[in-house]
Amino acid sequence: MMPDVSANVAGLKLRNPTMLASGFLDETGGTLLRVFKAGAGAVVTKSIGPEPRTGNTNPTVVELEVGMLNAMGLPNPGMEDFGAEVKVALDGGAVVVGSVYGKDPDEYATVASRLESYGVQAIELNLSCPHAKGLGTEIAEDPEAVREFTAAVKAKARVPVMPKLSPNVSDIAAFAGAAEDGGADAIVAINTLKAMAISPELKTPILANRVGGLSGPAIRPVGVRCVYEIYEAVDVPIVGVGGVETGRDALEYILAGARAVQIGTGLATRGMSVFADVTSEVAAYLEETGGKSVASLVGAAHG
C-alpha cells in the first residue's frame, strides 16, 4: 500500500507535505498554478500589501555556494490588482495561501480580509521580512507585537491564520507562544536569517539594500532547531521552512515537529520538480522504514 503523504495544517488539507515558500514564483497567477501543477501541495503568494510596491533596486540577489541572499524588498502588485492573479491559480485548482504584510495591525487585517475575499484557503502573516525598512523587522523583534498583529487578523479571518516567524531572535519559542496567544492557527518557521555579502574587489556590500536574508541549505540546521523548540513550546501545528531540497531535509523538519515544509531556494537548485521529488523521496523513506504516514512522523524526534 502506498504510504499516506497527505498533510493537514489547521484544517488546510494538502495532498503532500510540500508548499511553495512565499517570495518565490508567486507574484502572478500563471506561475502559482504552474508550481502547484508541478507538485506543490499548496502555494504561498508573494507577500501582498495594501498598495503596489516596486521593491529594492538590484542587486537584490547574491548566489552563494550554500544558498542565497536576497533583499527583494517586498515587491508586489498590491491587494487591488492581486485578485486577478489569485483567480487564475484557484480556477486551475491550486491550494493557495495568501501572504500578507503591512505597516500596522489594521493594515494586516485589511489585506488579509481582501485576500480571503479572493478565495485563498489560508493566510500567512509575514512578520519577519529582514529587508524592507519599517515594515517587518520591528514586528519580528517584539513578542507582544507578534501577538497583537496575529490577534488583529484573527478577529476578522475565517480561514486559518499562520504567522511566519523570524529566526533573528534569541528565543523563538517565546515568539511562538505569543503567536499562539494571539490566536494563531499554525506557525510557519523560519524566515531568512539577516545576512550580508561584501565584494573584496569593490570593498562594498553587494546588495543595494546592503543587508538581506540568507536562505538555502546553510540555514536548514537553524530552521530545524527552531521548529524543534517551537514544537516543545506550543500546541498549534508548525510548518517548517529553510533549506529543504530533498526528502531527507523535509524529514528533519517533520521529525522536529513540522506537519508540512515550504520550499523556495530549492527551486534554484532542483527546479520546479523539487516538490514532486521531495514528496517521492519522503514516500520512499516511509516504505523503507515501514511507516504508514507522514502524519505519524510529526515530532517523532522528541523523546
Partner 1 sequence: MGRMEVVPLTEVTREVHHTSTFRFRSAMEGAPGQFIMVWIPGHDEVPMALSYLGDVKGITVRAYGDATNALLKYTAGDLVGVRGPYGNTFHLDGRRALCVAGGVGIASIIAAVEGFSDRGTKVSTVLAARTAEELIFEERCEEAGEVHVATDDGTRGFHGLAPALAKRVLGQHTFDSVVTCGPEPMMKAVVVLCLERGIPVQASLERFMKCGIGICDACVLDDALVCKDGPIFTGEELAKSHDFGRFRRDESGRRIPL
Q: Does residue 34 interact with partner 1 by CB under 8 A? A: yes
Positions 167 through 186 that interact with partner 1 (CB under 8 A): none
Q: Does residue 68 interact with partner 1 by CB under 8 A? A: yes
Binding segment for partner 1 (CB under 8 A), chosen from 57-65, 150-158, 168-176, 278-286, is 57-65
Q: Does residue 27 interact with partner 1 by CB under 8 A? A: yes
Residue of 13, 30, 144, 296 that binds partner 1 (CB under 8 A): 30
Q: Does residue 206 interact with partner 1 by CB under 8 A? A: yes
Q: Does residue 3 interact with partner 1 by CB under 8 A? A: no
- Which listed residue (7, 12, 90, 129) is catalytic? 129
Q: Does residue 54 interact with partner 1 by CB under 8 A? A: yes
Residue number with CB closer to partner 1 (55 or 299): 55
Q: Does residue 91 interact with partner 1 by CB under 8 A? A: no
Task: Give the count of beta carbons closer than 10 Å to the beta carbon of residue 88.
Answer: 15
Q: Which residues are catalytic?
A: 129
User: Would you tell me which residues interact with partner 1 (CB under 8 A)?
Assistant: 23-28, 30-31, 33-34, 46, 52-55, 57-65, 67-68, 70, 72, 75-78, 81, 84, 199, 201-202, 204, 206, 208, 264-265, 267-269, 271
